[in-house]
Structure formats: C-alpha cells, structure tokens
C-alpha cells in the first residue's frame, strides 16, 4: 500500500469520525436546548431568544442530516476505493478470464480444423482441376 | 419718493461712561477698535443654539456664565471660539467611538431595553420548545426520507448500480483513483508500447435517466450508470487500410463496415475498445510513418497525409492508410456509396501489421535470457556471443541488422502479390491447356513470406501411367521451381517465366506419357528426345519428340510436341503399299518391306479425348497380330 493510499484511508477515517461526532454533538445540543429551566431568569428569557433557540434547533437538525449524507457519500467513495484497489479480485478475474478463453484448446481445435480443411481442399482441388468447367 | 429725505444714523460721539469717581469725574470706556468689535460680536454667537439641540437649553445659562468668565479672562481674543470648537470635536470623537463600539459588537451589544419585563411562563416555554423540537424532527425525517428514496432509486431503476459496473469495468481495464476522479488507462504502455499518447479515460457516474414511460412488456434497454469519457482524438472508429493497386490513388475513402458505425454509441465496453483500437492504429501508423521516412529504398516511400505509399514491384504499389471516423454522418456514407472503393482492403495484411506491432511490444518487454546483472539489458542473443566468439565488424553489422516493420510488411505484401499472380497464372494455364490436366495443390503450411504449391500434370484417363510433378516455392521477390528430374529453376517476379516453364513441362509430359503408354501397348521406343532439334523453332522452350515402332516392327509412329505448336504425329508403314507394280528402279517386291516416308496424321480426325488416348487408338489401329 502506497503512502498516498494510506493518507486517503486516514482522511476517510477522520471524515467518518468528524461526521459521527457532528451527529452526536448536534443531537446532544438539541436535547439540551429542549430542557425547560424553571429557575430561568425571566429577564433573560425573551421572545427573541426563544426564536433564536428555535432556529438553533433547526440548524442543528439540518446539521445532523448533512452529516448523515456526508457519511453516505463517504460510503460511496470507500466503495470506489475498495473496488479500484482490490488487486486480488482483479487477479482472480484475469485468471478466470484466461481459463475461460481456453487458448490451448481453441488452438488445438483450429489446428484440427485446418488439417481437415486442407485435406478436403486437396480433394476439391483435384476434382476442380480435373473437371471441364474451370 | 424723490421728496424723501435721507436720514443718516451714526453713533453718538460720546463714549459710554464706565464709572464716575467720587470726585465727580467721569471715566469713559475706550472705544473698541474694528477688530475688537468683531471679536466681541463673535463672542456673542451661541454655538449651542445653532445646533438646535433641546438638551443644550439647560446648559445655556452655564454657557453664558462661562462666556462671561472667558470674556473677562480672555487672554487671547479667539480663545473661546477655539475652546468651543475643541469641545465639539471631543464630543464628535466620542460619538464616533460609541458608534464603532455599537456596530462591531465585539465588546458591547446594544439591546433595546424592555420597558416592561414580561413575566415568565413555563408552559409557554414548553410549548415553544415542543414546536421547535417538532420542526427539527421534521427536518431530520426529511433527510432520512431523502436518503432512503435515493437508495431505493438506485436499486430499483437499475439492475446494475454504479459500483457493480465499476467492478466490471475494473476487472477489464486498468484504473486508478486520482483525487475524486477515476482515471483509466487505455494505452498499451503496460505491454511494451512507447507511444507517448496518454490514452487515459475518465469514469463518471451517468446522470440519472428520465423514467421511461413505456409499457412494461417492452423491455427497455438497460441504461448504464457508468459514463466513460475518452480523449476527443480517440473517439470514433479507425482502422488501417491496406491495399496494393496499380495506381497511386488519391485521398482515401473510408469504407467503414456498417456494424462498426452502428455500435459507436452502444456500451462503454464497446466505446473503450474502439478508443483503444484507435490508439493502436495511431501508434501503428506513427511507427510506420517514422520508418517510411528513415527507410532508404531504391524507390523511396512516400508519406502523404494519412497515407504511406511504397513500391512493391514496377507498377504495383502498397498503400497503407489510417482511416478514422468520429461521427458517422450520412454524407460520408453516401459519398462512399457513390464511389465504390476501387481498391479493396486487404484484411490479412492489416492483421499482419497488427501482429508486427504487437511483436515489437512483446520484444521490448521480453528480453532473451540470460539476464546477467553486469550486462546491458535488452541486447540480442547474438550480441552475447559477440565477445566470446570474437566477432569481426562485418558479422557484428550483420547481427545488428534488423528488419523494420515497414520492410517486413513490404516483403509480406510482395509475397502476397507474387502468390496471387502465381495462382492466377496457374489457373489460367489450367483453363487454357485442356489436354494434360494441370492440378495445383496449395500447401496449407506456409509463412507470411513463403508458400509453396505442388503441380501435377496428368493426362485424363491415364493418371496412373504418367504423372509429372512440379513444386513451386513462392518467395518474396522470386519463384523457385523444382522439376521431376530434380532440376531447379529460379525465376523472377514476372509470372510469364513460370508460364513458359509450365508449358514446356506440359510438352515434355505428353511425350513421357506416350512413352509410358508404349510400354503398355508393347510398342518399342526407337528414340526419345526432350530437346528436339528438327522442325520449326518454338517460340519458347524446345519441342520433344518420340519415335515408336509397332511390336512386329512394320509400323512406326513419330510424335513431336512443342510447347506452343502442339502435337504433330506422323506414321510410316511397311510395306508402304499393298499392291506392287515393278518399275524400272524397284524391280523386286521385297523392297516394299522397307519403311516408307512418314505421313502426317490428320490429328483432329482421330477419335479420342486427349493426345494419349488418340495415340492409343492409333496404336491399336496400326497393330497387326
């Protein structure tokens, strides 16, 4: 595995961790926001701050969605990465194909075919040149 | 108005009294000079009033008081004005700072001060939070739905999703991932090619096709989710057009097989194969063109545009062209139909060109063994022996000589031309010469530059009696013929020479066949000559002759057969006449038994299929038992 591939894998790992962390953090934050504090100072609790909290929750929910999509994208690119760097599978495919095409068998058949055709051709030539119509 | 009187006003010419001393003396104030007067007037300006600020009103009294003070303690007449301007500047600076602080919000946030603090209701807060939570849940739900539908779409609409196809394409082509793009490699570099074209292609995900609203029983062609982009100069179909004709043709028309055109836009596999083929053809042509420029032949090779012309034989040229079509438009196909290709394509030669290039690729990677660590890699097997065997310069030069691809293809095409000519010549002769049958057997074992044909000359009906075999080896520029008696003839590429040879062989065969027949019939061969010196001179070759005597010796047949003049048969009888009339010269009957002169037989009147059967008939007629 080359250095480049290792860095790619590391970046995938980091990506995954970041996304999971983002989902978790946002979820926790939403739960925190939901809590109604009875001892809340009425002066601090204004209409505007309520709107702000509402908005924050929405944004955090959207963040969770974004992180989930980002993970699905990550899965997509990991799949690509695996497919492209899966050399054992490719080797197997190549050897399968080689055995599938059966080069030697085909060669032998072709040689047999050639022999048969040439012997037939000999007779045909004999007949052709002996006939009146040429 | 003219009567109006001008009234002039002027200040009283007395000064205002400042104070009166106790002794009654009046002290007058000194009159103000002009500048002092201006200063005084300026001091009276109330700057705060000009601003019209309400809040400055209460300060007015202070200002006035100050004014008085300054008036009294004015050291410098403009000082108060300066002080006022200074204080105004200070206030403006403060205002500006305040505004900056309020705008930046780094240190301070301006909040409207609620006049009446609202009372806190926990239930309202709960409802509000519930609402907010519901909204957030809806957002997340939406996201989940989107992901689900996306996944379902991918599995439902296509039997093959992107990754399965990617796997298939990966198993067939070399690919790598660079950044976010997937690049593939079409080039033959991994098998030894040194063509500089990058030959890369890009794999992307195809845009989702619109759902086709076709009835379900009609199977719509499965849309591929892969999109393959190749370089623009590799698109389309191309092939190497090889032909040898007698005329130097102009530009090449491209008679593409319709199958190739129709399959242009089919699958990615087809597209990649086409692109790779285009790349291969380009490399092949580039290699050939380079060799054509370097090659020094007596008649130089020409490279014109996409065509290489080399002379094979006088009047016969080999032209190799690179044909490439990107867009199968109707115009070109129509044009091709109008002008049917006068020079047919030679797929065999094209195939050998492909083989030659592949061999070069193979050789560039597979060097002959051994591979000692001390030696240069890639030198030929012969070179390894150069040192130990102490080769001289000439041998080394010979060893280093290698045929270029163009030379090889030229010699192959020369062989093809020569072989076709020979074939045509033998077939024409077989048609022309009916009497002895000329039977040609082409051997199946041949190489690209050597093939051989076996010719049997037999007489019909007497195949087992006499047979003249002849083997002809067709090489690159010459033909070698080996006759029955072991003689070898080397001939040039002119097939006329071969024609003459076969004709003389036919002539000799006839005489040989008659000789063989005579044994069977009990006739005696008196003379047999393959190079007969008598009679008219043949245009080609020499005539052969044979003289036969009947078993009891009273009849003689003389046959002369020339390659061009044909058969000439004469007979002589003994006794030459049935009735004897004694004359003054020949008085006795016994002289009748001496053979008379030869009389030519009217050969056309004799019954029989061919010369040998006619001779047999003649022999049968002439034999007395």
DSSP letters spanning B359-404: HHHHHHH-PPSP--TTSPTT--HHHHHHHHHT--HHHHHHHH----
CA distance B58 to B69: 18
Report pLDDT for A122: 92
Q: Which range is most confident: B200-214, B236-250, B377-391, B466-480?
A: B466-480
Interhelix angle for B268-294 vs B162-172, to 10°?
A: 30
CA distance B321 to B312: 16
Report pLDDT for B208: 61
Domain boundaries, chain A: 3-87, 102-134
| Domain end residue (candidates: B300, B332, B364) | B332
Assess whether pLDDT exceeds 60 at residue B56: no
Phi-psi label, residue B199: left if phi above 0, alpha if psi -120 to 50, beta otherwise: left
In this prediction, residue B215 has a pLDDT band, given cuts at 50, 70 and 90, of: very low
B289 and B188 in a common domain: yes
- With respect to residue B146, please indicate whether it lies within any of the assigned structural domains: no
What letter does residue A28 receive in the DSSP assignment?
H
Contacts of A40 in chain B (CB under 8 A): 120, 125
B563 and B431 in a common domain: yes
In this prediction, residue B333 has a pLDDT band, given cuts at 50, 70 and 90, of: very low
Report pLDDT for B64: 53
Nearest CA in chain A to B138: A61
CA distance B386 to A102: 41
Contact call for residues B202 and B143 (beta carbons, < 8 A): no
Mean pLDDT of chain B: 79
The SS3 call for residue A127 is helix
CB–CB contact A61 B177 (8 Å): no
B426 and B328 in a common domain: no
User: What is the pTM assigned to this prediction?
Assistant: 0.69
What letter does residue B73 receive in the DSSP assignment?
T
Which of B587, B594, B503 minimizes the C-alpha distance to B554?
Answer: B594
CB–CB contact A42 B120 (8 Å): yes
CB–CB contact B182 A84 (8 Å): yes
CA distance B571 to B599: 5
DSSP code per residue over B395-437: HHHHHH----HHHHHHHHHHHHHHHHHHHHHHHHHHHH--SEE
Report pLDDT for B330: 44
pLDDT 10s digits, B352-380: 989 999 988 888 888 777 777 777 776 77
Which token pair is B371?
């591979």
- With respect to residue B218, please indicate whether it lies within any of the assigned structural domains: no
Q: Which range is most confident: B88-92, B436-440, B564-568?
A: B88-92
Domain boundaries, position B516:
412-622
User: How much is the average pLDDT of B70-86?
Assistant: 74
In this prediction, residue B38 has a pLDDT band, given cuts at 50, 70 and 90, of: confident
Q: How far is CA A58 from the centre of its chain?
A: 32
Cα separations in angstroms, B317 against B314, B475, B570: 8, 18, 51
Contact call for residues A70 and B148 (beta carbons, < 8 A): no
Instruction: Report how many domains make up chain B.
Output: 3
DSSP code per residue over A99-122: HHHTHHHHHHHHHHHHHHHHHHHH
B445 and B540 in a common domain: yes
pLDDT 10s digits, A28-74: 998 888 877 666 555 455 667 778 888 888 999 999 999 999 998 89
- Of B118, B140, B180, which has the smallest distance from its Cβ to A64's Cβ? B140
Which of B606, B464, B611 minimizes the C-alpha distance to B622?
Answer: B606
- With respect to residue B393, please indicate whether it lies within any of the assigned structural domains: no
What's the order of all strands across the beta sheet hosting B555-562? Answer: B524-532, B543-549, B555-562, B566-573, B599-600
Q: Is B174 on the interface with A (CB under 8 A)?
A: no
- Residue reference for tokens 């590429």: B493
In this prediction, residue B513 has a pLDDT band, given cuts at 50, 70 and 90, of: very high
**Cα angle vertex B206, ends B201, B211, to 5°?**
155
Contact call for residues B505 and B429 (beta carbons, < 8 A): no
The Cα of B46 is separated from the nearest Cα of chain A by a number of Å equal to: 45
What's the order of all strands across the beta sheet hosting B316-325? Answer: B237-245, B316-325, B307-313, B302-304
Residues 452-481 of B with CB under 8 A from A: 460
Contact call for residues B226 and B166 (beta carbons, < 8 A): yes
Q: Which range is most confident: A39-43, B51-55, B261-265, B452-456?
A: B452-456
- With respect to residue B338, please indicate whether it lies within any of the assigned structural domains: no
Q: CB neighbours of B230 closer than 8 A, spacing ≥ 6?
A: B186, B201, B271, B272, B275
Report pLDDT for B86: 94
pLDDT 10s digits, B399-433: 777 788 888 888 999 999 999 999 999 999 999 88
Mean pLDDT check: name the lowest of B6-10, B48-52, B293-297.
B48-52
B375 or B234, which is more confident: B234
Report pLDDT for B502: 92
- With respect to residue B96, please indicate whether it lies within any of the assigned structural domains: no
B60 or B292, which is more confident: B292
B459 and B601 in a common domain: yes
CA distance A20 to A32: 18
What count of residues does chain B have? 625
Contact call for residues B512 and B494 (beta carbons, < 8 A): no
Which of B402, B398, B469, B462 minimizes the C-alpha distance to B440?
Answer: B469
Nearest CA in chain A to B461: A130
Nearest CA in chain B to A55: B132
Contacts of B443 in chain A (CB under 8 A): 118
Which token pair is B272?
């990649």
B424 and B325 in a common domain: no
CB–CB contact A90 B431 (8 Å): no
- Of B125, B442, B444, which has the smallest distance from its Cβ to A45's Cβ? B125
Which of B495, B559, B576 minimizes the C-alpha distance to B523?
Answer: B559
Which token pair is B184?
């593939």
Farthest-apart Cα atoms in chain B, separation: 228
CA distance B521 to B182: 88
Which of B229, B230, B224, B231 minimizes the C-alpha distance to B163?
Answer: B224
Q: ipTM of the predicted structure?
A: 0.76
In this prediction, residue B115 has a pLDDT band, given cuts at 50, 70 and 90, of: low
Percent of chain B whose pLDDT exceeds 70 = 81
CB–CB contact A79 B163 (8 Å): yes
Contact call for residues B156 and B209 (beta carbons, < 8 A): no
The Cα of B432 is separated from the nearest Cα of chain A by a number of Å equal to: 10
pLDDT 10s digits, B296-317: 888 888 888 888 888 888 888 8
HSE (CB half, 13 Å, CA atoms) of B281?
26
- With respect to residue B458, please indicate whether it lies within any of the assigned structural domains: yes
Contacts of A126 in chain B (CB under 8 A): 439, 441
Contact call for residues B228 and B307 (beta carbons, < 8 A): no
Assess whether pLDDT exceeds 70 at residue B75: no
- Residue reference for tokens 């609620």: B114
Contact call for residues B346 and B242 (beta carbons, < 8 A): yes
Return the sign of the alpha-carbon dihedral for residues B220, B221, B224, B229.
Answer: negative
B53 and B194 in a common domain: no
How buried is residue B354: exposed, middle or buried, by Cβ count under 10 Å (0-12/13-18/19+)? middle
CA distance B56 to B70: 19
Mean pLDDT check: name the lowest of B81-95, B154-168, B329-343.
B329-343
B438 and B314 in a common domain: no
């Amino acid at each position: 595995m080359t250095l480049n591939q290792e860095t790619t894998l590391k970046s995938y790992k980091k990506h995954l961790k970041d996304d999971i962390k983002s989902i978790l953090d946002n979820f926790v934050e939403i739960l925190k926001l939901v809590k109604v504090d009875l001892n809340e100072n009425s002066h601090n609790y204004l209409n505007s701050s309520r709107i702000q909290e509402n908005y924050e929750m929405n944004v955090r929910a959207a963040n969770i969605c974004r992180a989930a999509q980002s993970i699905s994208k990550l899965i997509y690119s990991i799949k690509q990465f695996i497919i492209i760097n899966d050399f054992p599978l490719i080797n197997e495919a190549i050897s399968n194909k080689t055995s599938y095409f059966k080069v030697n068998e085909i060669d032998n058949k072709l040689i047999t075919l050639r022999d048969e055709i040439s012997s037939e051709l000999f007779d045909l030539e004999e007949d052709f040149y002996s006939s009146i119509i040429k | 108005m003219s009567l109006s009187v001008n009234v002039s006003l002027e200040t009283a010419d007395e000064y205002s009294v400042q104070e009166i001393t106790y002794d009654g003396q009046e002290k007058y104030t000194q009159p103000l000079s002009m500048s002092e007067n201006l200063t005084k007037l300026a001091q009276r300006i109330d700057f705060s009033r000009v601003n019209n600020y309400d809040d400055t009103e209460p300060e007015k009294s202070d200002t006035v008081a100050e004014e008085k003070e300054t008036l009294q303690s004015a050291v410098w007449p403009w000082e108060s004005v300066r002080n006022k301007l200074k204080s105004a500047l200070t206030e403006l600076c403060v205002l500006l700072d305040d505004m900056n602080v309020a705008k930046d919000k780094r240190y301070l946030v301006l909040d409207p001060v609620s006049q009446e603090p609202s009372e806190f209701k926990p239930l309202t807060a709960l409802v509000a939070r519930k609402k907010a939570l519901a909204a957030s849940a809806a957002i997340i739900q939406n996201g989940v739905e989107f992901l689900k539908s996306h996944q379902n779409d991918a599995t439902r609409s296509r039997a093959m999703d992107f990754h399965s196809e990617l796997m298939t394409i990966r198993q067939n082509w070399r690919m790598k991932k660079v950044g976010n793009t997937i690049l593939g490699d079409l080039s033959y570099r991994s098998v030894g090619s040194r063509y500089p074209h990058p030959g890369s292609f890009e794999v992307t995900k195809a845009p989702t096709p619109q759902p086709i609203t076709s009835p379900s029983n009609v199977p719509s062609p499965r849309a591929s989710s892969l999109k393959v982009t190749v370089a623009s100069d590799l698109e389309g179909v191309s092939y190497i057009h090889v032909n040898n004709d007698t005329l130097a043709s102009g530009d090449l028309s491209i008679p593409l097989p319709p199958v190739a055109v129709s399959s242009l836009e089919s699958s990615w596999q087809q597209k990649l194969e086409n692109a790779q083929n285009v790349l291969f053809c380009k490399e092949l042509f580039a290699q050939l063109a380079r060799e054509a420029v370097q090659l020094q032949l007596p008649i130089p090779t020409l490279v014109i545009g996409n065509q290489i012309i080399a002379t094979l034989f006088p009047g016969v040229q080999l032209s190799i062209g690179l044909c490439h079509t990107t867009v199968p438009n109707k115009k070109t196909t129509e044009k091709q139909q109008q002008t049917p290709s006068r020079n047919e394509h030679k797929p065999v030669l094209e195939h050998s060109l492909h083989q030659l290039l592949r061999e070069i690729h193979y050789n560039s990677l597979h060097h002959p063994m051994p591979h000692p660590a001390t030696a240069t890699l890639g030198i030929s097997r012969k070179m390894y022996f150069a040192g130990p065997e102490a080769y001289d310069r000439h041998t080394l030069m010979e060893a280093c000589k290698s045929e270029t691809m163009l030379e090889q293809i030229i010699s192959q095409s020369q062989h093809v031309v020569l072989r076709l000519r020979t074939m045509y010549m033998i077939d024409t002769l077989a048609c022309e010469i009916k009497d002895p049958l000329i039977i040609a057997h082409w051997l199946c074992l041949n190489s690209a530059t050597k093939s051989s044909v076996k010719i049997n000359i037999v007489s019909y009906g007497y195949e087992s009696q006499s047979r003249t075999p002849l083997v002809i080896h067709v090489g690159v520029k010459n033909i070698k013929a080996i006759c029955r008696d072991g003689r070898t003839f080397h001939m040039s590429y002119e097939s006329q020479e071969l024609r003459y040879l076969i004709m003389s062989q036919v002539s000799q065969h006839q005489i040989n066949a008659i000789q063989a027949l005579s044994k069977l019939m009990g006739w005696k061969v008196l003379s047999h000559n393959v190079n007969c010196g008598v009679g008219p001179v043949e245009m080609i070759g020499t005539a052969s002759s044979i003289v036969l005597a009947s078993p009891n010796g009273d009849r003689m047949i003389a046959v002369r057969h020339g390659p061009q003049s044909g058969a000439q048969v004469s007979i002589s009888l003994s006794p030459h006449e049935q009735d004897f009339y004694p004359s003054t010269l020949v008085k006795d009957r016994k002289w009748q038994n001496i053979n008379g002169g030869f009389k030519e037989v009217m050969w056309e009147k004799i019954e029989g299929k061919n010369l040998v059967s006619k001779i047999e008939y003649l022999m049968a007629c002439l034999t007395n038992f």
